[in-house]
Amino acid sequence: MPDASRPSVLVCGAGAAGLTAAIFAAQNGAEITLLERTEKAGKKILMSGGTRCNVLPAQMKLNDYFTDSSVNRMKNIFKSWSLNACKQWFEDEIGLKLACETHSNKWFPVSNSAKEVRNLLLKKALESGVQVVYNAPVENLEPENGKWRVRTSNGKSFEANRVIISTGGYSIPTIGTDGMGHRFMKKAGHTIRPVYAALTPLLGTNKQHHALSGISLDVELSVYTGGKKTFTSERSGFLFTHRGYSGPAILDASHHYIKAKMNGKETPVFRVNWAGIERESWNQALINGKGNVISVLKEKLPARLCEMIIQKAGLEQRKTAELKKEERRDLLALLTEYELPISGDEGYRKAEVTGGGIPLEEINTKTLESLKLPGVYLCGEIIDVFGRIGGFNFYWAWVTGRLAGLGQR
């Protein structure tokens, strides 16, 4: 039986942000019902980080995140919970032991088990008194007699003093995240900034590249828009796939291509410095190298990639000593500024997150209460913020989930 003397809170969506919000809201003494569209909580946590779950980054800067809203507003939200305090919460309150993968600067569970992360969060929510209702796809939110009425598409109806929206985004729509939350929030009166797939693999039509499928290496990737460099990745993983390109370097840059396409703008140019070695270092290696040109390349790059580059340069069987100045110049360009022929993207089907969404300008950044719908709070991917690969997106989900759960006014 609902206890009429306690404030009631409905949390819509039992993902990373919703579970965190429910835990914090319950600790405030409220009666919490967590409505989940599917039959399971935290499906994305389960599949995250290759099922290892990269819970947090080891360090973070504001430019690890992307938003079309005010960066200052985003900064205010991050100020509410430091990385360290968040990590401490996981270890002390949730009981999740974390280990830092030093080469990538990422925190993972010591168990390397995404299932442990999901299970411990759900356990904490249940122990805190949260009631979880599965198969409850929320489709409508409206005010009623000073409270909020939430209706699901299968005929259930709930009432509460306050509602937290944590329905995620559009990425991997087959597991229950297809923008349903965006649709009912638009109907309820919020602006939805145009959404787009982010952190998704890119496609390419070059058959020579497809033949390299499975080869991975660390690269430096730069994106040029209108001839100007608009993005450079840190040296990070690149993977040839049978349809194009993936790996953190590509995923982190993919939204530059997708947003340009969405806005009808000029397609940006993607240039790769294979191995991230400076042009002058390659130059010296070629000048001082003995034997075939390809042997110099093979010291630093995977053999099949070297063969492709040498073929493209027309330098098969050539010796370093025979290289003409122009040939060396063209080879250096292929090694350090190789243009990737991008022809499309994998979209939401493979995207890790959604760009765009509810603008920060429509949210009180101290509390995450909607400025349009008092008593409604927002958290997680539905807000117009996403981070690069590396635990940044979960950090956003935990920070915003906590703030929305606290329910300050």
Ligand X SMILES: Cc1cc2nc3c(=O)[nH]c(=O)nc-3n(C[C@H](O)[C@H](O)[C@H](O)COP(=O)(O)OP(=O)(O)OC[C@H]3O[C@@H](n4cnc5c(N)ncnc54)[C@H](O)[C@@H]3O)c2cc1C
Q: Give the binding site for ligand X (CB under 6 A).
A: 12-18, 35-38, 43-44, 47-49, 53-54, 136-138, 166-168, 171-172, 176-177, 180-181, 352-353, 380-381, 391-394, 397
In the complex, minimum distance from the CB of residue 245 to ligand X, in angstroms, rounded to a whole number: 17
Q: Find the residue with minimal CB distance to ligand X.
A: 15
Taking the C-alpha atoms of residue 274 and residue 297, their distance in angstroms, rounded to an integer, is 10
Rounded to 10°, the helix 71-79/392-406 angle is 70
**Beta partners for 273?**
220
* 99 close to 1: Cβ distance less than 8 angstroms: no
The encoded tokens of residue 222 equal 């730069």
What burial letters (b/e) apply to 37-52, b meaning 16+ CB within 10 Å? bbeebbbbbbebbeeb
In the complex, minimum distance from the CB of residue 96 to ligand X, in angstroms, rounded to a whole number: 14
- The SS3 call for residue 225 is strand
CA 135 to each of CA 32, 125, 178: distance values in angstroms, whole numbers, following the listed order: 17, 18, 15
In the complex, minimum distance from the CB of residue 372 to ligand X, in angstroms, rounded to a whole number: 18
In the complex, minimum distance from the CB of residue 353 to ligand X, in angstroms, rounded to a whole number: 5
- Which lies closer to ligand X via its Cβ, residue 21 or residue 293? 21
In the complex, minimum distance from the CB of residue 293 to ligand X, in angstroms, rounded to a whole number: 40
- Please provide the size of the chain in residues: 409
- Which lies closer to ligand X via its Cβ, residue 51 or residue 311? 51
- Which lies closer to ligand X via its Cβ, residue 38 or residue 283? 38
Residue 384: CB atoms within 10 Å: 26
Strand order in the sheet with 131-133: 131-133, 31-35, 8-12, 162-165, 376-378
- Which lies closer to ligand X via its Cβ, residue 297 or residue 403? 403
In the complex, minimum distance from the CB of residue 240 to ligand X, in angstroms, rounded to a whole number: 19
In the complex, minimum distance from the CB of residue 397 to ligand X, in angstroms, rounded to a whole number: 4
Amino acid identity, position 313: A
The encoded tokens of residue 166 equal 């944590």
SS (H, E, C) 250-286: HHHHHHHHHHHHHCCCCCCEEEEEECCCCHHHHHHHH
- Which lies closer to ligand X via its Cβ, residue 245 or residue 282? 245
- Which lies closer to ligand X via its Cβ, residue 54 or residue 320? 54
Taking the C-alpha atoms of residue 294 and residue 273, their distance in angstroms, rounded to an integer, is 17
- Which lies closer to ligand X via its Cβ, residue 122 or residue 286? 122
In the complex, minimum distance from the CB of residue 114 to ligand X, in angstroms, rounded to a whole number: 8
